[in-house]
Amino acid sequence: MTQVIAGSRERVSRVQRRRFAHRRDQLASSALQTLAELGYARTSLRDIADHSEFSHGVLHYYFTDKIDLITAAVRMFKQDCVHRYDDIVDNATSADELRVEFAAAMARTLRTEAPEHRLWYDIRNQSLFEGAFRDDVLELDAGIEAMIWRVVSRHAELDGVSVHVERPVAYAMFDGLFHQSLLRFVSGDEGAVGDLEDRACALLETTTA
């Protein structure tokens, strides 16, 4: 009987943990827009509550502080971004097709999700000073680097050539290009999206020899 009761409690506990995690994900997703608009320095849990349908008490129950909430929101967004490129890599039948589709996807996310990307760069910079961000930022950064490397490696494979840049260098090149384009875009430069698409396409070609 004792084992039956213990097993039942464990199952209930697992269900409760899943529900808690699911609710956290819902709240983080809903708060993302507000966080992206205000940024790290200008946001508190109360600010987020004021701009959403959730009370400050609810947010504080599911998240320790604003760092916990921001990290959860950015993690969901960046993981989704990374996985979007999987289909492009998997379905491309030529190097030209991969270049075009990859560059178009980069331009599209700049045009439609600039505030969210701005929030990512915000907390990545904050991680240089705020240790609470660092482990998550390093993990997410590694995921983005791995995605870029999949694109670069598959492009070389389709073209029948070799990659002539190292993995961290390939990531730094595309990240720098996107960061520069994002700054131009949020500053009102209407040509930033088109330039990013053209330059990402050209840059991918330079990674092989």
pLDDT tens for residues 124-160? 999 999 999 999 999 999 999 999 999 999 999 999 9
Decide if pLDDT at 7 tops 70. Answer: no
pLDDT at 93 over 90: yes
Structure token digits, residue 55: 């009370």
Residue 3 confidence class, pLDDT cut points 50, 70, 90: low
Model confidence at 57, pLDDT cuts 50, 70, 90, reads confident
Among 16-30, 81-95, 166-180, the range scoring the smallest mean pLDDT is 16-30
Q: Using 50, 70 and 90 to split pLDDT, how confident is the model at 21?
A: confident
Which band of pLDDT confidence, cut at 50, 70 and 90, is reported for residue 200? Answer: very high
Task: Please say if the pLDDT value at position 46 is more than 90.
Answer: no
| pLDDT attached to residue 9 | 46
For all residues of the chain together, what is the average pLDDT? 90
Residue numbers of the domain that contains 157:
2-206
User: Residues 173, 196: contact at Cβ < 8 Å?
Assistant: no
137 exposed, middle or buried (CB, 10 Å; 0-12, 13-18, 19+)? buried
CA distance 196 to 29: 27
Q: Of 36, 35, 80, 95, which is closest to residue 59 (Cα–Cα)?
A: 35
Structure-model confidence comparison of residues 201 and 27, the more confident one:
201
Q: How confident is the model at residue 1 (pLDDT cuts 50, 70, 90)?
A: low
- For 6, 43, 51, 124, 157, the CA distances from 184, given in Å and listed in that order, are 59, 24, 27, 19, 33
Question: What is the percentage of the chain residues whose pLDDT exceeds 70?
Answer: 94
Task: Reply yes or no on whether the pLDDT at 73 is more than 90.
Answer: yes
pLDDT at 159: 96
- Span 91-102, average pLDDT: 97
CATH number of the structural domain spanning residue 11:
1.10.357.10
Whole-number Å distance between alpha carbons of 99 and 112: 20
> Would you state the pLDDT for residue 34?
85
Q: How many domains does the chain have?
A: 1
pLDDT at 5: 45
How many Cα atoms within 13 Å fall on the side-chain side of residue 72?
A: 20
